[in-house]
Amino acid sequence: MKLYNFFRSGTSHRLRIALNLKGLQTQYVPVDLRTEQHLKDEFKAVNPQMLVPALEVDGKVLIQSPAIIEWLEETHP
């Protein structure tokens, strides 16, 4: 799993907490909101909403932290 996130983002933090509680390891991909990396084409290709966090799993991208946490709970109860 690849976690696109930013250290100072509350929604990213929320997802990191859930991943840690589940004991799941991810590849940490920093997306720096201060330098507007989330608005660049490279990240837009990952999440067209241009928001962090986003979680890539087996080539598919999950977005919106509450939905991602719900998915984590269903797949890693």
Ligand X SMILES: N[C@@H](CCC(=O)N[C@@H](CS)C(=O)NCC(=O)O)C(=O)O
The nearest distance, CB 18 to ligand X, in angstroms, is 12
41-76 per-residue burial string, b: 16 or more CB within 10 A, e: under 16:
eebeebbeeebbbbbbeeeeebbbbeebbeebeeee
- Give whichever of 20 and 36 is closer to ligand X, judged by the CB atom: 36
Instruction: Confirm or reject binding of residue 38 to ligand X (CB under 6 A).
Output: yes
Question: Residues 49-68 vs ligand X: string with x where CB under 6 A?
Answer: --xx-----------xxx--
Residue whose CB is less far from ligand X, 3 or 52: 52
**Sheet containing strand 2-5, strands side by side:** 27-30, 2-5, 54-57, 60-63
Binding footprint of ligand X, residue count (CB under 6 A): 10
Contacting positions for ligand X (CB under 6 A): 9-11, 33, 38, 51-52, 64-66
